Amino acid sequence: NTRDSVCLSLFLHSLLDSPSPLWRLFAVIFGILCLALLVTSGLLGDTKCIICPKNWIQHGKDCYELSSGIKSWSVCKEYCSSLGSRLLKIDSKEEFLSAQVVLACIHTKESTC
């Protein structure tokens, strides 16, 4: 990460050229903070951003596509499978309420909720 290398570069430069012990202490503290930032960004760098396909609705980490055509369950299942997806299966009240939020997003034509 460029920000982290600049941070470490500033730390090393200030440590070597510091005119006073107080400045040296500041440089050491700053260096420790930079190293902590470097470690944190390395650990959090694996987090992936979810990008839904065009005309799909994102809710949290999930993407939803609403088909308006009337089709049989088997045709819908094949259609979803062809998109690398699956039919929505609601197992709890919480999932049902979450699906209601997605439907509200579709009606307001928002792409992210």
Residue 50 lies in a domain: no
Range of the domain at 40: 2-44
Mind listing the pLDDT tens digit of every residue in the chain (113 residues)? Answer: 555 555 556 555 655 555 677 777 888 888 888 888 888 776 666 566 778 888 887 877 788 887 777 788 888 888 888 988 888 777 887 777 777 766 666 555 554 44
Strands (E), 2-107: 57-59, 62-64
- Same domain for 37 and 61? no
Tokens of 59: 């809710």
Residue 51 lies in a domain: no
| Residues 26, 32, 34: CA angle, nearest 5 degrees | 100
User: What is the 8-class DSSP label of residue 33?
Assistant: H
pLDDT at 27: 81
The number of domains in the chain is 2
Residue 64 lies in a domain: yes
- Four-CA torsion 75, 80, 86, 90, nearest 10 degrees: -60
- Same domain for 66 and 104? yes
Query: Residue 7 burial by CB count (10 A; 0-12/13-18/19+): exposed, middle or buried?
Result: middle
pLDDT at 5: 54
